[in-house]
Chain A
Amino acid sequence: MSQTQPPPLRYIRYEPSREDEYVAAMRQLISKDLSEPYSIYVYRYFLYQWGDLCFMTVDDSRPEDPIVGVVVSKLEPHRGGPMRGYIAMLAVREEYRGRGIATKLVRMAIDAMIARDADEIALETEITNTAAMKLYERLGFLRSKRLHRYYLNGNSAYRLVLYLKEGVGSMRTSFDPYAAPADARLEMSGAAGVPAAPAPPPLLQGNGR
């Protein structure tokens, strides 16, 4: 074996028992590309519920900081309708980019979702992030809508969607798909702005009674 040949990268699934080690590395990797970090609760929200849909790339040649790529996802019924996978975060260390690591991670996440009977997969990506868009479009995602000034930095996004089964588009959702706040429908007869983000859950409003 040649000495210059780096050891191959390993791809592993997230392991809850090693949370301290993994989450810290993951946060560092993901926060690097963000102007404002996600709180620890965001990581826990995903990892505690869908840790098996989180994958990491490990480079053993750098034991002090081995994790060089990560994908974080979730999978749940979308408004009571189709099983929708959602790719929340994807990051690869800068010097490891261009080697297909991100594609491999996303494929692992998608394959895991398919194994769990996903009907569709959705995600958002900044419109300036052409590398990410190319990656997902190569995998068969289509842009379904453009989201104006979606991110805190004022940049817009595309929602990218992949159908995995026929008939997903006509699947019935349990409540009016257009009335839900996350995708707020425009009731133009009311003269007030609809917040882009969902309204607080009913629990908060019932407080103190």
Chain B
Amino acid sequence: MFPNSGASAPTMRVTSQSVVPRDITDEFTEAASKLSTGQLVKDEYFTLFEAVGALEIMDSKMDSGFLGPNENHAQALEDDYDITRELAPEEVVGIMDGLLCHEMAWHMGHPLSQTLFTSLYLDRLLWPVPNTLDEARFTRGSADGRNEEPALVNLVLRAYCMALVKCCDYVHARVAAEYYYEEEDFVTQLYNRNLLSPFDLDPFLDLLDRAAAWIEEQQDGINEEVRAAIKLRIEFRRDLLLGLYQDIDVIQNRSSDNFRACLSRLSDLAQSASIGKPVPESFSWKVQRRLASTVPPRPMVNISQDDALAHLKRLCQDGIDLQEILDYRGPHNFKVAVWTMLSRKPQPSVYIRSLLQTLIVNNALVLGVVPVRDFLYDELAELVLPTSILLQANTDQTEMPSNPRFQIAQHMDGFVKRFSQPFVDTFRSACLNRCRIRRTVCHTLVDWDNLQMEAEDLDEQLRTLSDEPPLILSNGDSTYSYPFSSWAYHQKLNQFRLILQLGFELSIYSPEELPGMYWYLSHICSTHLGHLDRIRTFTVATAKRNLTALAGKKRDAVERHAVLQKSLRLLERLSTQVVAVDAFAISLHALYVLLDRHHILPTASSPQAYSSERLRYELRMKPFLPITLPELVPYDDYRREALLEGDSDGAVLERATKAITEARKAWETTLANGAFSPDQPTPTTPAIEEDWKKDVKDTMRACIGTSLAIESLKKGLAMRNTSKGSSPDGPSVDLRVDIPEVGSKARFHDWWAVPQISHNTLRSKT
């Protein structure tokens, strides 16, 4: 089914003074009479999108002005609820909690119209749009507009509502300033209202303080327990408001106090919820009819208090843990921190993801302090150009145009302009929702393919200017390092791997594709390993040349030596991780080949399917078709490799067993190496390291699961060999294969679809 959401897109109305209205009723009727029913009159711009966006007048589900048979205009628009009425203190708690649920539903991606804006209290405060804070009162429009009685409503509940709206204002501003997907991640639509955005923080704090002080004084009037519950909610709101107000200032303040305070109040908030008495009549879906919107009224979104508090808890915890990415410690470690934090399950909320995007880069500064150029240079120095003159040349210092250093600097300026944004985006893309990450990386892959070619041109020009000595190969040929294109290729191979792994995470692949996809993953890994080796070879050669200088105990030679060794250690670290992925992929590939060969691998497609395996391969390779390097594997080669044609069962089993042993070792080494390269100053990052370790440990559990599956298969195959009369086509092996779904307990890791193999005792003998 295609989505029925076109109606929600805002339509643009352009009116001009010069348009003179003319009655065309007669002409229209005349023209329409020549059409038959159902005939469509449309221009080429009328697409499915417009068709979906069209509303049908007099259909109650689409026409927001439609009145039912016994409904009059007033009933349709107005609610009987009197918002100036007195409320029992328990009702105030109930309303506050109801509002919090709606607030979190909005954070989760539902529109304001179906959540917070259904509150009649908020409606009165926000419409008509108040010019001053003082105007935003429940009593506005009434004769005694200044009346503060009952204070529980006009002081306490109002303060809470005002502060809540201001909280939403900060969230709205942050998300809207960053990259997000409207309706997928968040709905920014305000329906011509505003969230008290013109007003500063202080008056909101004053309101809350006055409310808290008043509640404090009501020892006689309000039961102790209820009083505590109201006070708790006001204090919580104050903390949340301050936490959201801090926003990107967290870079300077380095404070997580407000989110910590919020978090500490959540269990009390949950426990005292039962004190509250809900006031459902203070929320009405009819408010939607008065909002500036082309969307027909939709049902109110009601999420449970538990869900709301769980969302809030994660928001606060993520807000606290975000501190751990703020200290810059080089691009490699930064990337690990960012991707680890954003790969949390469930994924951090859109507010946190937007905040992180801003922290990653804002005004051409990474983490508020590192210029994007330095960030890019740090990355190149870490990986491909340790100690290189290319990163030291600077046009400010060398002004003679004939000087090669000047020319190098000019080339480098162009490089920075072209590459810094795509590079920074490899970090920012982590902030998208998981589906969008994969789709985005499929697109950026093409960009990086082009960038690699551009970088190659640059490499050739700079090689002459920097007088790079060639590396002589054993066959006598000479070759050069091509640092920039090497680096671009490394980025691209990372993206290849990510696309494949996210494919597993998002359950994109059908079971019969698993042998091929794990083969492809290992193919990309081994290509990547070869490439890392190439980079290493040149760094080793540079280090060798430096040895001579080092023997002379030159000071800069000693420094260079340290930098080169650091780079080699990072290359080693990266290789270890790729080896770990590679080995695991090889093992799963071999295992799935056997399951397929013996017809015990579940399949999604039937023999009567319209598509062939060749067509399915082409479709699966779609993101990679336009890529020049690594070259696409032709289908016939792919098939041969992916099916391990010609290898006996024994040989394939052996391959699976050896590879999983190697994988387990490599993942152990990875775990021991830790999340971050120790060569960079390391701040303490307990939460992120915990997440990272959990991820590696889950992968190791998946390895163990694979070992078990291999053993079960081995036994099953051995038993088959001893029994006789197995048919060549049907399942000849008495085993049952289950592939646990992502998110289920038996799926140890999203990226590793490890089959569960059990003896098929239910199968009857014929």
Q: Which residues of A does B touch, CB under 8 Å?
A: 16, 19-20, 23, 34-42, 44-45, 47-49, 74, 86, 88-90, 110, 114, 123-126, 134, 137-152, 154, 156-158, 161-170, 178, 182-183, 185-186, 188-189, 191-198, 200-205, 207-209
Contact = CB atoms under 8 A, between A and B. Distances in A.
B59 A208 contact: no
Interface in B17-40: 18-19, 37-40
Nearest to B110: A154
Given A37-B61, A148-B184, A161 B619 contact: yes
A191 B179 contact: yes
Contact of B49 (A163, A197, A209): A197
Nearest to A190: B179
A193 B180 contact: yes
Q: What 3 A-B pairs are tightest by C-beta distance, nearest first?
A: A140-B609, A140-B611, A208-B16
B15 A208 contact: yes
A37 B182 contact: no
A140 to B, nearest CB: 3
B85 interface: no
Nearest to A155: B3
B610 A44 contact: no
B43 A203 contact: yes
Contact of A39 (B12, B49, B51, B611): B51
A195 B59 contact: no
B87 interface: no
Contacts of B188: 193
B2 A39 contact: no
A59 to B, nearest CB: 23
B213 interface: no
Contact of B184 (A45, A134, A145, A196): A196
A186 B51 contact: no
B432 A186 contact: yes
Contacts of B180: 193
A191 B177 contact: yes
Contacts of B175: 193
Contacts of A163: 611, 615-616, 618-619
A151 B12 contact: no
B510 A142 contact: yes
A116 B12 CA distance: 37
Interface of B is mostly: loop
Q: Which of B40, B46, B619, B621 has the most CB of A within 10 A?
A: B619
Q: Which of B186, B298, B439 has the most CB of A within 10 A?
A: B439
Contacts, number: 244
Contacts of A188: 179, 421, 425, 428-429
A23 B38 contact: yes
Given A138-B604, A169-B621, A200 B18 contact: no
Nearest to B15: A208
A140 B616 CA distance: 8
B500 interface: no
9 contacts: A35-B299, A39-B51, A142-B611, A145-B439, A152-B8, A152-B298, A163-B619, A186-B432, A201-B47
Given A146-B506, A161-B619, 9 more contacts: A44-B51, A45-B46, A49-B40, A88-B48, A89-B2, A137-B510, A152-B8, A156-B435, A186-B436
A146 B507 contact: yes
B54 interface: yes
B38 A16 contact: yes
B38 A19 contact: yes
Contacts of A196: 181-184
B408 to A, nearest CB: 26
Contacts of B275: none
A142 to B, nearest CB: 5
Nearest to A151: B3
Interface string B195-227: 000000000000000000000000000000000
Contacts of B178: 191, 193
B440 to A, nearest CB: 5
A152 B5 contact: yes
B606 interface: yes
A147 B51 CA distance: 21
B439 A204 contact: no
A13 to B, nearest CB: 16
Given A38-B4, A88-B2, A48 B510 contact: no
A125 B606 CA distance: 19
A74 B421 CA distance: 40
Interface string B496-530: 00000000001111100100000000000000000
A82 to B, nearest CB: 12
B4 A186 contact: no
A109 to B, nearest CB: 11
B177 to A, nearest CB: 6
B471 interface: no
B609 A139 contact: yes
B109 interface: yes
Contacts of B38: 16, 19, 23, 44, 47-48
Nearest to A129: B1
Contacts of A161: 619
Interface string B604-630: 111011110011101111100110000
B766 interface: no
A186 B440 contact: yes
B3 A193 contact: no
A145 B508 contact: yes
A36 B61 contact: yes
Contacts of B506: 145-146
Given A19-B37, A140-B605, A200-B9, A124 B43 contact: no
Contacts of A207: 14, 16
Given A137-B604, A142-B616, A149-B183, A20 B37 contact: yes
A170 B1 contact: no
A47 B452 CA distance: 48
A38 B619 contact: no
B40 A44 contact: yes
Contact of A186 (B108, B183, B429, B446): B429
Contact of A204 (B14, B621, B626): B14
B751 to A, nearest CB: 15
Interface string B477-494: 000000000000000000
Contacts of A157: 3
Nearest to B506: A146
A170 B624 CA distance: 10
Interface in B45-92: 45-52, 54-56, 59, 61-62
Q: Which of B14, B18, B47, B610 has the most CB of A within 10 A?
A: B610
B11 interface: yes
B561 interface: no
A42 B40 contact: no
B510 A143 contact: yes
Contacts of B621: 169
B508 A146 contact: yes
Nearest to A203: B45
A204 B176 CA distance: 25
B429 A205 contact: no
Interface in B304-328: none
Contacts of B109: 149, 154
Nearest to B62: A39
A125 B507 CA distance: 14
A119 to B, nearest CB: 11
B443 interface: yes
A110 B609 CA distance: 11
B489 to A, nearest CB: 21
Nearest to B442: A145
A142 B435 contact: no
Contacts of A114: 610
A156 B38 CA distance: 33
B434 interface: yes
